[in-house]
Amino acid sequence: MNLAAGCQVGPYEIVAPIGSGGMGDVWKARDTRLGRDVAIKRLKGQHSARFEHEARAIAALNHPNICTLYDVGPDYLVMEYIEGAQLCCPLPAQEALKLAIQIAGALEEAHARGILHRDLKPANIMITAQGAKLLDFGLAKSEAHVDATQTVDGAILGTIAYMSPEQAEGKPVDARSDIFSFGAVLYEMLSGVRAFNSLFRDDPAPLETSRDLGAILTRCLRKRAEDRFQSMAQVRAALQQVSLKSEQPSIAVLPFANMSADVEQEYFSDGLAEEIINALAHLPGIKVTARTSAFSFKGKNVNIAQIANELGVEHVLEGSVRKAGNRIRVTAQLINATDGFHIWSERYDRELNDIFAVQDEIAAAIVTVLEARLAVRPEVRKHYTPNVAAYEAYLKGRYHTWKLTRDSFAQGRVCYEQAIALDPRFALPYAALAEYYHIAGSGMMDAEEAAVRGREAAGKAFEIDPSSPEANAWLGIYAVVRDFDWKEAERRFRLALAQQPVQPILRHLHGYFYLRLVGRAAEAVEEHRRALEADPLNLVMRMGLALSLRDAGRPREALEEAHRILDLEPDFGAGYTLQALDVTAVPPAEALAYAEKGTALAPWNLPSIGLLAGVLARSGNRSRAHEVLRDLGDGQAHGAPCGFAIFHSLCSEVEQAAEWMEKAIEQKHQLVTMLLLSPPYGPMLRASSRWPALSKMMRLVG
């Protein structure tokens, strides 16, 4: 049977295609007898009498979280039509738990009627306003036929990434096989990555989640069926007992006070606090506020209780450092933010060469204090120990970089290069240089030279430490902005996110530079939200969230997030540019005010100049628009073609916009991907006669 819009299949009138699945294409249709919308799945082949008999049994399932099967034809299934979106991972733990309970309940109902699903995976779960809906029970088998492991076209049933070991081996299966698949799906809901690289060789990496939820996952994913939960009713009951409130101890490490006579030693006290943050962040079971948010209170007269409240933590670590010659004195105290009492304090008088041991001792002491609430007793992560001079140079580099001025940023690069000269096997300065050159290529130096040097630095970091999340993330970013190599970017980000717990900055980079650009904006939103759980005051991450919300078709929420950014930092120029970027979502007068302010705060940003000119032109002030455009010169400067492309897009001059976009692609400006793939510019450019050529240049599919 060939389906097309307008054709009739029995009493069903085909309306439009929905998508395709493992067994065939899916179409929206109208049931002309009952006056309701349905979904029709055209099967790849004829099915047997037994299949029809079992489909009738599945049709008898009546559960709010199961997509109802209405009818069976000779080569098609008729199902409930669902308004919703496919399950996107990862999800916040509370949302994942709620959906998991619904899914478990649906499987419990099916199992009670003797029906197995056997192909449970995120693609077979739809999320609606009411919750989860399980699809493709039409692929299931009754437990009377558990020896049958093939679909109607003879292929092995199921998806290998989510199969139980016994199913993957073609052995008889029962309800415990669905329990294994359920565990694999829940793992992905919580982490955003699949549970297994190799089903038979590997165990899933431990997740940063509650002890109870972690125990449920572990039991669901046991390789032997007899070691799992023995029924989905047991799984659902266990999930309903899980509480995510206050399960995970949380801590913020404030910048340590510099008690040295030399004020220039502040880099060392800041660096020590940052390294303790990094050490704690790599321990499973502890929620650690990232540096950007924890350090945002530096120099401000804010009490501990207020800091803890804004960061959403229970404990605060503060301390001081006195450095004199080759001797250091470090004091540290852990404070309960609720009552202000000191839980633990210690003083360390050491030689400078012992600084790495001091960091580990402080982290270990905190673990000892909190371990009663940890799922396991974690070990402080072993890391490469550079020589002290190189380490000091690296700390100076981080200190200058975080000042976020052009001059200090350049000082940071010099310090990273010094660290590398002092210890060429120290990977972190190379990764920091990869970041530096990526940012410097936006106006501080020649873009081509910056890209070459940045990629070389990331490659060197990877060569020294192939497991480095930072090195893999930056290689993934350069794969996007330089080569438009989406497969390589996906591979690199998979490696960067493989180590648990995942650093919040890596979630942000994954969402910003990959997920939203490949049409997975909803997943990017969740990545940014998870990153912000650990770094709630990070303005750049909030920018990423706002852009992903816009790309996901949620402009109102995107603008709310942009307003939140300016509430946190009124002089953050990119926040104003962000609000003007989608001129269709804000009133013209507001868009103009935002564009003016954003350009005034970042006059070196050439794309924002094109934005201001475009907003002026849309408001009718063409003469001033062309005055502003003069700052883009002849369009040769890096970023100028993007500025012209934005201007012509806002003027609805699609062909001119596409012509400039082609030049921007040749320049490989990092905004190219955003403009080509994000609203409102992407849809405009797709209407151009140049779109096929632009698409080919960027190696886009579809």
Closest CA to 146 of 166, 132, 127, 161: 166
Cis bond before residue 172 (omega within 30° of 0) = no
Reported as a single tens digit per residue, the pLDDT across 370-404 is 765 554 454 555 567 888 889 889 988 988 888 77
Q: Supply the pLDDT for residue 574.
A: 77
Enumerate the domain spans of the chain. 8-80, 86-240, 250-383, 571-702
What is the Cα–Cα distance from 102 to 131, expressed in whole angstroms? Answer: 8
Assign 223 to helix, strand or coil: coil
Does the active-site annotation cover 119? yes
Query: What is the predicted pLDDT for the residue at 149?
Result: 45
Percent of the chain with pLDDT over 90: 31
Flag whether pLDDT at 433 surpasses 90.
yes
CB 37 within 8 A of CB 28: yes
| φ, ψ for residue 494, nearest 5 deg | -60, -40
Mean pLDDT score, 319-342: 87
Mean pLDDT of 351-359: 82
Predicted local confidence at residue 558, as pLDDT: 83
86-240: CATH architecture = Orthogonal Bundle (1.10)
Asked if residues 200 and 206 have their Cβ atoms less than 8 Å apart, the reply is: no
Q: Determine the CATH number of domain 8-80.
A: 3.30.200.20
DSSP label at 372?
G
Q: Are 439 and 409 in contact (CB under 8 A)?
A: yes
Better pLDDT: 434 or 406: 434
Catalytic residue (choose from 25, 31, 71, 119):
119
Ranges of H-type helices in 228-379: 232-240, 266-281, 291-294, 304-311, 355-370
pTM > 0.75: yes or no: no
Q: HEC profile for 561-624?
A: HHHHHHHHCCCCHHHHHHHHHCCCCCCHHHHHHHHHHHHHHCCCCHHHHHHHHHHHHHCCCHHH
Work out the mean pLDDT of the chain and round it to a whole number.
Answer: 84
Tens digits of per-residue pLDDT, 638-678? 788 989 999 998 898 999 999 999 998 888 776 777 666 77
Query: Where residue 152 falls among pLDDT bands split at 50, 70, 90?
Result: very low
pLDDT given at position 360: 79
Right CATH for 571-702 from 1.10.10, 1.10.15, 1.25.40, 3.30.310: 1.25.40
Q: Does the structure show a pLDDT above 50 at 150?
A: no
Check: CB of residue 347 under 8 Å from CB of residue 370.
no
**Neighbouring C-alpha atoms within 13 Å toward the C-beta of 538:** 24
Q: What is the pLDDT of residue 145?
A: 45
250-383 to CATH, choices 3.40.50.10610, 3.30.1700.10, 3.60.20.10, 3.40.50.720? 3.40.50.10610
